[in-house]
Chains A and B, each alone.
Chain A
Amino acid sequence: MSAHKQIDRRWIFLLIFICVALPLIFVIGLPIETTENSRLVYDLVQNTPPGSKVILSFDYDPGSKPELHPMATAVMKNCLERNVKVIITALWPMGVQMAEEIHEELKTEYPQMEYGVDYVNLGFKAGGMVTVQAMGKSFRTIFPTDLNGTSINELPIMNGVKNFDNIAFVCSFSAGDPGIKQWVQITHDTFGKPVTGGVTGVSAPAVLPYVNEQQQLTGLLAGLKGAAEYEFMVKKPGTATSGMDAQSIAHLLIIIFIAIGNINYWRNKKKEAKGGE
Protein backbone atom coordinates (compact mmCIF):
# COMPACT_ATOMS: atom_id res chain seq x y z
CA MET A 1 0.00 0.00 0.00
CA SER A 2 1.49 3.33 -1.01
CA ALA A 3 1.89 6.27 1.35
CA HIS A 4 -1.37 8.03 2.38
CA LYS A 5 -3.38 5.34 0.68
CA GLN A 6 -6.41 4.34 2.72
CA ILE A 7 -8.72 1.34 2.54
CA ASP A 8 -11.62 1.99 0.19
CA ARG A 9 -14.64 2.57 2.42
CA ARG A 10 -16.67 0.13 0.33
CA TRP A 11 -14.47 -2.71 1.63
CA ILE A 12 -15.15 -1.53 5.17
CA PHE A 13 -18.90 -1.47 4.47
CA LEU A 14 -18.79 -4.96 2.95
CA LEU A 15 -16.86 -6.42 5.87
CA ILE A 16 -19.17 -4.78 8.40
CA PHE A 17 -22.14 -6.23 6.54
CA ILE A 18 -20.64 -9.73 6.62
CA CYS A 19 -19.62 -9.42 10.27
CA VAL A 20 -23.13 -8.34 11.28
CA ALA A 21 -25.02 -10.77 9.06
CA LEU A 22 -23.12 -13.99 9.71
CA PRO A 23 -23.44 -14.09 13.53
CA LEU A 24 -27.16 -13.41 13.14
CA ILE A 25 -27.47 -16.50 10.95
CA PHE A 26 -24.93 -18.73 12.74
CA VAL A 27 -25.31 -17.94 16.43
CA ILE A 28 -22.00 -18.09 18.35
CA GLY A 29 -23.44 -17.76 21.85
CA LEU A 30 -20.85 -15.47 23.43
CA PRO A 31 -21.24 -15.10 27.20
CA ILE A 32 -23.39 -12.31 28.63
CA GLU A 33 -22.23 -10.72 31.83
CA THR A 34 -24.50 -8.48 33.90
CA THR A 35 -23.43 -5.04 35.05
CA GLU A 36 -24.44 -3.23 38.24
CA ASN A 37 -26.64 -0.74 36.39
CA SER A 38 -28.70 -3.47 34.76
CA ARG A 39 -29.00 -5.37 38.03
CA LEU A 40 -30.39 -2.24 39.70
CA VAL A 41 -33.19 -2.09 37.11
CA TYR A 42 -33.92 -5.79 37.57
CA ASP A 43 -33.91 -5.47 41.38
CA LEU A 44 -36.32 -2.54 41.24
CA VAL A 45 -38.84 -4.59 39.27
CA GLN A 46 -38.28 -7.67 41.46
CA ASN A 47 -38.72 -5.70 44.69
CA THR A 48 -41.96 -4.02 43.58
CA PRO A 49 -44.83 -5.66 45.44
CA PRO A 50 -47.38 -7.53 43.28
CA GLY A 51 -50.45 -5.43 42.58
CA SER A 52 -48.45 -2.19 42.43
CA LYS A 53 -48.88 0.09 39.45
CA VAL A 54 -45.98 1.30 37.35
CA ILE A 55 -45.61 3.59 34.35
CA LEU A 56 -43.72 2.38 31.30
CA SER A 57 -43.01 5.26 28.95
CA PHE A 58 -42.24 4.46 25.31
CA ASP A 59 -40.13 7.42 24.26
CA TYR A 60 -38.69 6.05 21.03
CA ASP A 61 -39.54 5.38 17.41
CA PRO A 62 -38.70 2.63 14.88
CA GLY A 63 -35.22 4.12 14.31
CA SER A 64 -34.04 2.98 17.73
CA LYS A 65 -36.31 -0.04 17.90
CA PRO A 66 -33.53 -2.67 17.59
CA GLU A 67 -31.97 -1.49 20.85
CA LEU A 68 -34.95 -0.34 22.89
CA HIS A 69 -37.72 -2.69 21.87
CA PRO A 70 -36.12 -5.86 23.32
CA MET A 71 -35.58 -4.19 26.69
CA ALA A 72 -39.11 -2.74 26.71
CA THR A 73 -40.52 -6.17 25.91
CA ALA A 74 -38.43 -7.90 28.59
CA VAL A 75 -39.26 -5.34 31.31
CA MET A 76 -42.96 -5.34 30.46
CA LYS A 77 -43.20 -9.11 30.49
CA ASN A 78 -41.28 -9.26 33.76
CA CYS A 79 -43.69 -6.76 35.33
CA LEU A 80 -46.76 -8.69 34.17
CA GLU A 81 -45.35 -12.02 35.32
CA ARG A 82 -44.88 -10.52 38.76
CA ASN A 83 -48.47 -9.19 38.69
CA VAL A 84 -47.23 -5.60 38.61
CA LYS A 85 -49.85 -3.52 36.77
CA VAL A 86 -48.49 -1.61 33.78
CA ILE A 87 -49.64 1.84 32.67
CA ILE A 88 -48.22 2.66 29.24
CA THR A 89 -47.64 6.17 28.00
CA ALA A 90 -45.43 7.86 25.40
CA LEU A 91 -43.66 11.18 25.05
CA TRP A 92 -42.90 10.31 21.40
CA PRO A 93 -45.79 9.93 18.92
CA MET A 94 -44.41 6.69 17.47
CA GLY A 95 -43.94 5.26 20.97
CA VAL A 96 -47.62 4.37 20.97
CA GLN A 97 -47.18 2.02 18.00
CA MET A 98 -44.10 0.51 19.62
CA ALA A 99 -46.12 -0.29 22.74
CA GLU A 100 -48.98 -1.64 20.63
CA GLU A 101 -46.61 -4.13 18.99
CA ILE A 102 -45.69 -5.53 22.40
CA HIS A 103 -49.39 -5.50 23.29
CA GLU A 104 -50.07 -7.75 20.26
CA GLU A 105 -47.34 -10.13 21.43
CA LEU A 106 -48.81 -10.22 24.92
CA LYS A 107 -52.26 -11.14 23.66
CA THR A 108 -50.99 -14.50 22.45
CA GLU A 109 -48.28 -15.06 25.06
CA TYR A 110 -50.31 -14.08 28.12
CA PRO A 111 -53.97 -14.66 27.23
CA GLN A 112 -54.91 -14.48 30.90
CA MET A 113 -53.75 -10.86 31.12
CA GLU A 114 -56.63 -8.48 30.66
CA TYR A 115 -56.39 -5.07 29.01
CA GLY A 116 -57.63 -2.38 31.36
CA VAL A 117 -57.03 -4.59 34.39
CA ASP A 118 -53.41 -5.74 34.13
CA TYR A 119 -52.17 -3.13 31.65
CA VAL A 120 -53.40 -0.12 29.77
CA ASN A 121 -52.12 2.10 26.97
CA LEU A 122 -52.88 5.76 27.60
CA GLY A 123 -51.20 6.91 24.39
CA PHE A 124 -49.09 9.90 23.43
CA LYS A 125 -49.27 13.43 24.77
CA ALA A 126 -47.32 16.35 23.36
CA GLY A 127 -45.55 18.71 25.72
CA GLY A 128 -42.57 16.73 27.05
CA MET A 129 -41.49 17.93 30.45
CA VAL A 130 -44.67 19.92 31.07
CA THR A 131 -46.77 16.81 30.40
CA VAL A 132 -44.78 14.88 33.01
CA GLN A 133 -45.14 17.76 35.47
CA ALA A 134 -48.90 17.94 34.91
CA MET A 135 -49.19 14.13 35.28
CA GLY A 136 -47.56 14.47 38.68
CA LYS A 137 -50.40 16.76 39.77
CA SER A 138 -53.33 14.98 38.15
CA PHE A 139 -53.38 12.02 35.83
CA ARG A 140 -56.96 12.55 34.77
CA THR A 141 -56.34 16.05 33.46
CA ILE A 142 -53.70 14.76 31.05
CA PHE A 143 -55.23 11.41 30.19
CA PRO A 144 -59.01 11.58 30.43
CA THR A 145 -59.24 8.53 28.14
CA ASP A 146 -57.01 5.66 27.06
CA LEU A 147 -55.80 5.03 23.50
CA ASN A 148 -59.15 3.52 22.49
CA GLY A 149 -61.11 6.47 23.82
CA THR A 150 -62.36 4.63 26.92
CA SER A 151 -62.70 6.92 29.91
CA ILE A 152 -60.01 6.06 32.45
CA ASN A 153 -62.72 6.06 35.12
CA GLU A 154 -64.03 2.88 33.47
CA LEU A 155 -60.63 1.15 33.58
CA PRO A 156 -60.11 -0.87 36.79
CA ILE A 157 -56.31 -0.46 36.58
CA MET A 158 -56.71 3.31 36.95
CA ASN A 159 -58.78 3.05 40.14
CA GLY A 160 -57.05 5.05 42.83
CA VAL A 161 -54.41 6.41 40.49
CA LYS A 162 -54.50 10.15 41.03
CA ASN A 163 -50.89 11.15 40.51
CA PHE A 164 -47.34 9.84 40.98
CA ASP A 165 -48.09 9.11 44.67
CA ASN A 166 -50.02 6.05 43.51
CA ILE A 167 -47.26 4.76 41.25
CA ALA A 168 -44.43 2.43 42.37
CA PHE A 169 -41.92 3.60 39.78
CA VAL A 170 -41.54 5.01 36.28
CA CYS A 171 -39.54 3.24 33.59
CA SER A 172 -38.70 5.15 30.42
CA PHE A 173 -37.31 3.62 27.23
CA SER A 174 -35.77 6.66 25.74
CA ALA A 175 -34.10 7.49 22.44
CA GLY A 176 -33.60 11.18 23.12
CA ASP A 177 -35.54 14.28 24.02
CA PRO A 178 -38.16 14.25 25.55
CA GLY A 179 -37.35 11.10 27.42
CA ILE A 180 -35.65 9.71 30.47
CA LYS A 181 -34.10 13.04 31.54
CA GLN A 182 -37.53 14.67 31.81
CA TRP A 183 -38.85 11.76 33.87
CA VAL A 184 -35.83 12.01 36.22
CA GLN A 185 -36.03 15.78 36.59
CA ILE A 186 -39.75 15.79 37.36
CA THR A 187 -40.82 12.38 38.65
CA HIS A 188 -37.80 11.77 40.85
CA ASP A 189 -36.44 15.21 41.62
CA THR A 190 -39.82 16.91 42.16
CA PHE A 191 -42.14 14.09 43.24
CA GLY A 192 -39.57 11.72 44.77
CA LYS A 193 -40.60 8.59 42.87
CA PRO A 194 -38.03 6.05 41.63
CA VAL A 195 -37.22 6.31 37.93
CA THR A 196 -35.45 3.70 35.88
CA GLY A 197 -35.19 2.83 32.22
CA GLY A 198 -33.19 2.12 29.16
CA VAL A 199 -31.48 4.21 26.52
CA THR A 200 -29.67 3.66 23.23
CA GLY A 201 -25.95 2.92 23.40
CA VAL A 202 -24.97 6.32 22.02
CA SER A 203 -27.03 8.28 24.53
CA ALA A 204 -25.99 6.21 27.58
CA PRO A 205 -22.91 8.35 28.48
CA ALA A 206 -25.10 11.46 28.74
CA VAL A 207 -27.66 9.74 30.99
CA LEU A 208 -25.23 7.84 33.25
CA PRO A 209 -24.53 10.85 35.54
CA TYR A 210 -28.11 10.45 36.82
CA VAL A 211 -27.24 7.00 38.18
CA ASN A 212 -25.70 8.33 41.39
CA GLU A 213 -25.78 8.16 45.18
CA GLN A 214 -29.07 10.09 45.25
CA GLN A 215 -30.53 7.44 42.93
CA GLN A 216 -31.97 10.02 40.60
CA LEU A 217 -32.03 7.10 38.23
CA THR A 218 -32.27 3.58 39.65
CA GLY A 219 -29.97 1.73 37.26
CA LEU A 220 -29.90 1.98 33.51
CA LEU A 221 -30.14 -0.45 30.62
CA ALA A 222 -27.64 0.84 28.08
CA GLY A 223 -28.09 -0.17 24.46
CA LEU A 224 -28.35 -3.67 23.10
CA LYS A 225 -26.05 -4.95 25.83
CA GLY A 226 -28.39 -3.65 28.54
CA ALA A 227 -31.31 -5.34 26.81
CA ALA A 228 -29.37 -8.62 26.51
CA GLU A 229 -28.40 -8.41 30.19
CA TYR A 230 -32.05 -8.00 31.18
CA GLU A 231 -33.07 -10.92 28.98
CA PHE A 232 -30.31 -12.95 30.66
CA MET A 233 -31.52 -12.01 34.16
CA VAL A 234 -35.14 -12.89 33.44
CA LYS A 235 -33.90 -16.06 31.70
CA LYS A 236 -35.75 -15.26 28.48
CA PRO A 237 -33.29 -14.85 25.62
CA GLY A 238 -34.70 -12.72 22.84
CA THR A 239 -33.57 -10.58 19.94
CA ALA A 240 -31.07 -8.65 22.08
CA THR A 241 -29.26 -11.83 23.13
CA SER A 242 -28.97 -13.03 19.53
CA GLY A 243 -27.92 -9.54 18.42
CA MET A 244 -25.04 -9.40 20.92
CA ASP A 245 -22.91 -11.79 18.85
CA ALA A 246 -23.28 -9.57 15.77
CA GLN A 247 -22.52 -6.44 17.79
CA SER A 248 -19.46 -8.02 19.41
CA ILE A 249 -17.97 -9.12 16.09
CA ALA A 250 -18.73 -5.72 14.51
CA HIS A 251 -16.97 -3.97 17.42
CA LEU A 252 -13.99 -6.28 17.01
CA LEU A 253 -13.82 -5.44 13.31
CA ILE A 254 -13.94 -1.70 14.08
CA ILE A 255 -11.04 -2.19 16.52
CA ILE A 256 -9.09 -4.04 13.80
CA PHE A 257 -9.76 -1.14 11.41
CA ILE A 258 -8.55 1.33 14.02
CA ALA A 259 -5.35 -0.70 14.39
CA ILE A 260 -4.86 -0.77 10.60
CA GLY A 261 -5.48 2.99 10.45
CA ASN A 262 -2.81 3.57 13.09
CA ILE A 263 -0.30 1.26 11.42
CA ASN A 264 -0.83 3.15 8.13
CA TYR A 265 -0.44 6.48 9.89
CA TRP A 266 2.85 5.53 11.55
CA ARG A 267 4.19 3.95 8.37
CA ASN A 268 3.37 7.08 6.37
CA LYS A 269 4.92 9.26 9.05
CA LYS A 270 8.10 7.18 8.96
CA LYS A 271 8.25 7.43 5.18
CA GLU A 272 7.75 11.19 5.30
CA ALA A 273 10.51 11.51 7.91
CA LYS A 274 12.88 9.47 5.72
CA GLY A 275 11.94 11.56 2.66
CA GLY A 276 12.65 14.71 4.67
CA GLU A 277 16.16 13.53 5.46
Chain B
Amino acid sequence: MKRQIPLIITFLVGFIVIFSEFIPQRFFGQISSTLEEWFLIISGFAIILGQLSLFKVNFLKIKFKQPNWPYYIVTLISFVVMVGFGAFWGTETSSGFLGDGAKIVATLGDKPFDYLFHNVYQHLSATMFSLLAFFIASAAYRAFIARNVESNLLLIAAVLVMLGNTSLGSALTGWLPESLKFLHLPRISEFIMKYPNTAGQRAIMIGAGLGLIGSSLRIILGIERSYLGGK
Protein backbone atom coordinates (compact mmCIF):
# COMPACT_ATOMS: atom_id res chain seq x y z
CA MET B 1 0.00 0.00 0.00
CA LYS B 2 2.92 2.32 0.79
CA ARG B 3 3.90 2.19 -2.88
CA GLN B 4 0.52 1.60 -4.49
CA ILE B 5 -1.23 4.69 -3.10
CA PRO B 6 1.38 7.14 -4.50
CA LEU B 7 1.25 5.29 -7.83
CA ILE B 8 -2.55 5.57 -7.97
CA ILE B 9 -2.40 9.29 -7.06
CA THR B 10 0.24 9.90 -9.76
CA PHE B 11 -1.82 8.02 -12.35
CA LEU B 12 -5.04 9.89 -11.56
CA VAL B 13 -3.48 13.33 -11.33
CA GLY B 14 -1.44 12.81 -14.51
CA PHE B 15 -4.44 11.73 -16.54
CA ILE B 16 -6.74 14.45 -15.17
CA VAL B 17 -4.22 17.15 -16.13
CA ILE B 18 -3.71 15.67 -19.61
CA PHE B 19 -7.44 15.24 -20.28
CA SER B 20 -8.32 18.68 -18.94
CA GLU B 21 -6.16 20.16 -21.71
CA PHE B 22 -8.29 18.43 -24.35
CA ILE B 23 -11.78 18.68 -22.82
CA PRO B 24 -13.10 22.27 -22.80
CA GLN B 25 -15.46 21.63 -19.86
CA ARG B 26 -15.56 23.98 -16.86
CA PHE B 27 -15.37 21.02 -14.47
CA PHE B 28 -12.05 19.79 -15.86
CA GLY B 29 -10.70 23.34 -15.90
CA GLN B 30 -11.55 23.72 -12.21
CA ILE B 31 -9.89 20.44 -11.26
CA SER B 32 -6.82 21.41 -13.25
CA SER B 33 -6.68 24.82 -11.52
CA THR B 34 -7.01 23.20 -8.09
CA LEU B 35 -4.18 20.80 -8.90
CA GLU B 36 -2.03 23.72 -10.02
CA GLU B 37 -2.63 25.43 -6.66
CA TRP B 38 -1.68 22.21 -4.86
CA PHE B 39 1.50 22.05 -6.93
CA LEU B 40 2.45 25.58 -5.88
CA ILE B 41 1.87 24.75 -2.21
CA ILE B 42 3.93 21.56 -2.53
CA SER B 43 6.70 23.55 -4.30
CA GLY B 44 6.85 25.89 -1.30
CA PHE B 45 7.18 22.97 1.09
CA ALA B 46 9.76 21.32 -1.20
CA ILE B 47 12.06 24.29 -0.53
CA ILE B 48 11.83 23.64 3.23
CA LEU B 49 12.39 19.93 2.61
CA GLY B 50 15.44 20.75 0.50
CA GLN B 51 16.88 22.90 3.28
CA LEU B 52 16.33 20.16 5.86
CA SER B 53 17.94 17.65 3.53
CA LEU B 54 20.93 19.95 3.00
CA PHE B 55 21.34 20.29 6.75
CA LYS B 56 21.04 16.54 7.35
CA VAL B 57 23.47 15.53 4.56
CA ASN B 58 26.13 17.99 5.71
CA PHE B 59 25.65 17.12 9.37
CA LEU B 60 26.08 13.39 8.71
CA LYS B 61 29.23 14.02 6.64
CA ILE B 62 30.75 15.94 9.53
CA LYS B 63 29.59 13.40 12.11
CA PHE B 64 31.24 10.50 10.27
CA LYS B 65 34.26 12.61 9.31
CA GLN B 66 33.97 11.89 5.60
CA PRO B 67 36.71 13.18 3.22
CA ASN B 68 36.98 17.00 3.24
CA TRP B 69 34.60 17.17 6.20
CA PRO B 70 35.88 20.59 7.38
CA TYR B 71 34.39 22.13 4.22
CA TYR B 72 30.97 20.84 5.20
CA ILE B 73 31.31 22.70 8.50
CA VAL B 74 31.74 25.91 6.51
CA THR B 75 28.61 25.11 4.47
CA LEU B 76 26.63 24.35 7.59
CA ILE B 77 27.76 27.47 9.45
CA SER B 78 27.00 29.66 6.40
CA PHE B 79 23.60 28.04 6.09
CA VAL B 80 22.72 28.46 9.78
CA VAL B 81 24.00 32.05 9.86
CA MET B 82 21.99 33.15 6.81
CA VAL B 83 18.80 31.37 7.90
CA GLY B 84 19.24 32.62 11.47
CA PHE B 85 19.84 36.25 10.49
CA GLY B 86 16.92 36.14 8.08
CA ALA B 87 14.62 34.62 10.70
CA PHE B 88 15.66 36.89 13.60
CA TRP B 89 15.93 40.29 11.93
CA GLY B 90 14.26 39.67 8.59
CA THR B 91 15.27 41.02 5.20
CA GLU B 92 15.06 44.42 3.51
CA THR B 93 11.34 44.14 2.99
CA SER B 94 10.23 42.08 6.00
CA SER B 95 10.73 41.94 9.76
CA GLY B 96 12.01 38.93 11.66
CA PHE B 97 11.12 37.38 15.02
CA LEU B 98 13.19 40.04 16.82
CA GLY B 99 11.93 42.91 14.72
CA ASP B 100 14.12 45.01 12.42
CA GLY B 101 17.25 45.14 14.61
CA ALA B 102 17.57 48.93 14.64
CA LYS B 103 20.81 48.86 16.64
CA ILE B 104 22.47 46.42 14.24
CA VAL B 105 21.26 48.41 11.25
CA ALA B 106 22.76 51.55 12.80
CA THR B 107 26.14 49.79 13.07
CA LEU B 108 26.21 47.80 9.83
CA GLY B 109 24.15 50.17 7.73
CA ASP B 110 21.97 47.25 6.69
CA LYS B 111 20.10 44.32 8.19
CA PRO B 112 22.49 41.42 8.91
CA PHE B 113 20.96 39.19 6.22
CA ASP B 114 21.13 41.94 3.56
CA TYR B 115 24.62 42.93 4.69
CA LEU B 116 25.90 39.40 4.12
CA PHE B 117 23.95 39.06 0.88
CA HIS B 118 25.33 42.27 -0.63
CA ASN B 119 28.88 42.01 0.73
CA VAL B 120 29.60 38.28 0.76
CA TYR B 121 27.14 36.16 -1.21
CA GLN B 122 26.94 38.37 -4.30
CA HIS B 123 30.70 38.63 -4.64
CA LEU B 124 31.31 34.94 -4.06
CA SER B 125 28.65 34.05 -6.57
CA ALA B 126 30.03 36.49 -9.16
CA THR B 127 33.53 35.13 -8.56
CA MET B 128 32.38 31.58 -9.22
CA PHE B 129 30.85 32.68 -12.52
CA SER B 130 33.89 34.77 -13.45
CA LEU B 131 36.22 31.82 -12.95
CA LEU B 132 34.52 30.30 -15.98
CA ALA B 133 36.30 32.84 -18.20
CA PHE B 134 39.70 31.54 -17.06
CA PHE B 135 38.77 27.91 -17.54
CA ILE B 136 37.12 28.53 -20.93
CA ALA B 137 40.30 30.25 -22.15
CA SER B 138 42.44 27.35 -20.98
CA ALA B 139 40.03 24.73 -22.34
CA ALA B 140 39.64 26.47 -25.71
CA TYR B 141 43.41 26.45 -26.17
CA ARG B 142 43.42 22.66 -25.85
CA ALA B 143 40.04 21.75 -27.35
CA PHE B 144 39.80 23.74 -30.59
CA ILE B 145 42.41 21.79 -32.54
CA ALA B 146 41.93 21.30 -36.28
CA ARG B 147 42.29 17.50 -36.34
CA ASN B 148 39.71 16.64 -39.01
CA VAL B 149 36.94 18.20 -41.14
CA GLU B 150 34.41 18.35 -38.28
CA SER B 151 36.81 19.93 -35.82
CA ASN B 152 37.87 22.38 -38.56
CA LEU B 153 34.26 23.45 -39.04
CA LEU B 154 33.80 23.78 -35.29
CA LEU B 155 36.96 25.83 -35.00
CA ILE B 156 36.03 28.20 -37.84
CA ALA B 157 32.47 28.65 -36.55
CA ALA B 158 33.71 29.27 -32.99
CA VAL B 159 36.22 31.92 -34.09
CA LEU B 160 33.66 33.70 -36.31
CA VAL B 161 31.00 33.72 -33.59
CA MET B 162 33.49 34.84 -30.95
CA LEU B 163 34.65 37.74 -33.12
CA GLY B 164 31.17 38.60 -34.37
CA ASN B 165 29.77 38.74 -30.85
CA THR B 166 32.21 41.39 -29.71
CA SER B 167 32.91 44.95 -30.69
CA LEU B 168 36.06 43.68 -32.43
CA GLY B 169 33.94 42.15 -35.19
CA SER B 170 32.50 45.55 -36.02
CA ALA B 171 35.88 47.24 -35.69
CA LEU B 172 37.64 44.75 -37.99
CA THR B 173 35.07 44.60 -40.80
CA GLY B 174 33.04 47.76 -40.33
CA TRP B 175 34.93 49.45 -43.18
CA LEU B 176 33.72 46.93 -45.81
CA PRO B 177 31.72 48.47 -48.70
CA GLU B 178 28.01 47.72 -49.05
CA SER B 179 28.62 45.11 -51.79
CA LEU B 180 30.77 43.08 -49.37
CA LYS B 181 28.55 43.50 -46.33
CA PHE B 182 27.90 39.76 -46.26
CA LEU B 183 31.49 39.41 -45.04
CA HIS B 184 30.75 41.65 -42.09
CA LEU B 185 31.68 39.58 -39.01
CA PRO B 186 28.57 40.38 -36.91
CA ARG B 187 26.43 39.37 -39.90
CA ILE B 188 28.31 36.10 -40.36
CA SER B 189 27.97 35.41 -36.65
CA GLU B 190 24.25 36.20 -36.79
CA PHE B 191 23.86 33.85 -39.77
CA ILE B 192 25.62 30.99 -37.96
CA MET B 193 23.46 31.49 -34.88
CA LYS B 194 20.25 31.88 -36.86
CA TYR B 195 20.51 28.93 -39.23
CA PRO B 196 22.99 26.11 -38.44
CA ASN B 197 22.72 26.67 -34.67
CA THR B 198 18.93 26.97 -34.67
CA ALA B 199 18.58 23.83 -36.81
CA GLY B 200 20.79 21.85 -34.44
CA GLN B 201 19.08 23.24 -31.35
CA ARG B 202 15.63 22.41 -32.75
CA ALA B 203 16.68 18.81 -33.33
CA ILE B 204 17.93 18.61 -29.74
CA MET B 205 14.75 20.25 -28.43
CA ILE B 206 12.48 17.90 -30.37
CA GLY B 207 14.49 14.92 -29.09
CA ALA B 208 14.35 16.20 -25.53
CA GLY B 209 10.60 16.87 -25.88
CA LEU B 210 9.96 13.32 -27.05
CA GLY B 211 12.09 12.02 -24.20
CA LEU B 212 10.11 14.12 -21.74
CA ILE B 213 6.80 12.76 -23.04
CA GLY B 214 8.21 9.23 -22.78
CA SER B 215 9.40 9.62 -19.20
CA SER B 216 6.19 11.39 -18.17
CA LEU B 217 4.12 8.51 -19.53
CA ARG B 218 6.40 6.04 -17.74
CA ILE B 219 5.80 7.88 -14.45
CA ILE B 220 2.03 8.18 -14.96
CA LEU B 221 1.72 4.50 -15.91
CA GLY B 222 3.82 3.44 -12.92
CA ILE B 223 6.68 1.96 -14.96
CA GLU B 224 9.20 4.50 -13.69
CA ARG B 225 9.21 4.44 -9.89
CA SER B 226 12.56 5.94 -8.97
CA TYR B 227 10.81 9.03 -7.53
CA LEU B 228 9.45 6.77 -4.79
CA GLY B 229 12.96 6.15 -3.58
CA GLY B 230 13.53 2.74 -5.24
CA LYS B 231 14.35 1.35 -8.68
Contacts and interface: CB of A to CB of B under 8 A. Distances in A.
Given A63-B125, A257-B137, A258-B140, A134 B33 contact: yes
B33 A252 contact: no
Interface string B30-71: 000100110110011011000000000000000000000000
Interface in A218-262: 222-223, 225, 228, 244-245, 247-255, 257-258, 260-262
For B39, B129, B146, B167, the residue with the greatest tally of chain A CB atoms inside 10 Å of its CB is: B167
* Secondary structure dominating the interface of A: helix
Q: Size band of the B side of the interface?
A: 35 or more
Contacts of A206: 201, 205
Nearest to A265: B145
Contacts of A137: 33, 36
A65 interface: yes
B16 to A, nearest CB: 14
A209 interface: yes
Contacts of B174: 31, 33
B167 A30 contact: yes
Contact of A63 (B128, B162, B171): B128
Interface residues of A, number: 64
* Secondary structure dominating the interface of B: helix
A134 B94 contact: no
B166 A134 contact: no
Interface in A68-111: 97, 100
Interface stretch (B72-80, B192-200, B220-228): B192-200
B134 interface: yes
A131 B93 CA distance: 22
A66 B198 CA distance: 26
Interface of A: 6-7, 9, 12-13, 16-17, 20, 30-33, 35-36, 61-66, 97, 100, 125-128, 130-131, 133-134, 137, 141-142, 147-149, 201, 204-206, 208-209, 212, 222-223, 225, 228, 244-245, 247-255, 257-258, 260-262, 265
28 contacts: A13-B138, A16-B133, A16-B137, A30-B167, A30-B168, A30-B170, A31-B171, A33-B167, A35-B186, A62-B125, A66-B129, A125-B40, A126-B44, A131-B40, A134-B40, A141-B37, A148-B93, A209-B198, A223-B165, A228-B167, A248-B168, A249-B168, A251-B162, A251-B168, A254-B137, A258-B159, A260-B141, A261-B141
